[in-house]
Chain A
């Protein structure tokens, strides 16, 4: 047994951290902030360890694999969690002072689920990891149950319920599809589950539908704007990126596995349709939004549409660029949500109109917001430009001309609403000129995101290389 436990050392460390948080909460009366700092320190330690210790290998029966692909995802999840926790510390302290340790513990459990996902090569492990990722999120979405920004309706219960019910329905589909696949093949191995029969195809499609939910892809996206609006914003910052990366990892593991990648003509059209629908619905429905969180919800749906084009290419480069895109998206969107959170606290709401004059009240938050918006819009020299360009390039190379045309056209629509938010923050007169002060942890999280978006935008090479290496390891080592 000890021969492969080291493969899970990072995951186990996070489990330990979660247990420690709960123990400390029960036994010692630590301040919430201290626990938050401890969690951040622990996660940073795990992230550093991921570069230091060798965790590559395969479990005896091949149910779990750890390679460059898995590490790429693990680092993304860890970064998202670190930034998400940093962004939450002050909100928790102020709005849920008695329930802080639980928040961190739940988030860490969800993180463990994510960490296990990309390496799972067995249906049972994959699904358990997926649910482990998902269930704590339902609870976290309801965390603002007693609290709301003055003047905005209480939406926390609604937000959580929607996430939960649609999530449960999606899981039902996943399990049903899985029953078909495993039943037909008689094996729980993902690679061996591929059967070229109509029933197996239906099974696969139902599994895709189930995972499409976490991605927030159309038509499984309805929960997205409502949940984003009602759940605590710093949590939404995490929710809007990490589970999506998780969904991408799970989908890639299934679709690009030995059995299914050869039958890509079976599933690629479905992914293309979902991708086009997501880009269209996301971009077009974002246009009329007046609440920043809802707007970002729809914009996130659109961004997932772009990732899916790259996945539909079903090539090694396509997969690599999907990874690059999701990494870019994690830093950009997380940062953006945190800025919205920081601004909304002092500006009286999450409406786009409320963001007026942000650049004057806090030049640094305004500037950060602008950079993140430009990145999502795909303007040169920020990371989002490369993400979009690469995805289009690889999809085009794989012959997916129609989705690329749709994507390019809709990206222009996207520019419209991203820039209108920027205009509001920079050009419109605000109600007051009072300075806004985001707290130190929140500012640090935003600064890290900003740094990543700008530096990787100017010099995307290293990230491209590691994404390439990850995709190569995944496809080579299947």
Chain B
């Protein structure tokens, strides 16, 4: 229990300043299940929302008690109470352990993930870690489960989300660097399955700025490939162009699928990323 508590506390502290997060209502589909919080609009639910005039619909909906008080016919509307299911995933590949300064990409991704989960739970949404084997839930317990799943060594090595069946209409928040070649294909597959996604692209400043000079041998984190440069600064410009292009590609793909993308550099404050994410998911 103690292994993840510092991270969880940090995440709690981070999310403390933001209002509870409700998933943007227009993304809701028929598959949503009944939840605890109202959506500030009429719909399926138990609490009273408003009386409105009867407009040529099913007569069974007329509230006769109210209609008897005046000349018009009224329909009792209830507030739409529904919770959205949000699945969370962070890239666990070896590349995420990279850090050019104090914070690695993986640490930052996990912090954001937990903070986001805390926000969603406070908003009454149901959250779960993709592939964690637990049903999504809207309690502090779910937060614990997610934190456990992050620590689980089995889940560490996977870069792409597992091929778990997800109900249509559920949301997915995917934090990672999307450098894996199959990442875009996986995205398309998920979108075809009716998932709406939010991508958070975690970027280390060194990856973006490429500050290396002199004789250097670059190795992939898995140690499979390597590239040797006599003067690393000479390839800097072409690399930066390629990196920008890769970022564009991710954004383009996501936009085509109707997904949102937030980019975050690990040398920036995590709160700014969380605020941006809050805005993207909350649809405000």
Q: Do A and B come from one complex?
A: no
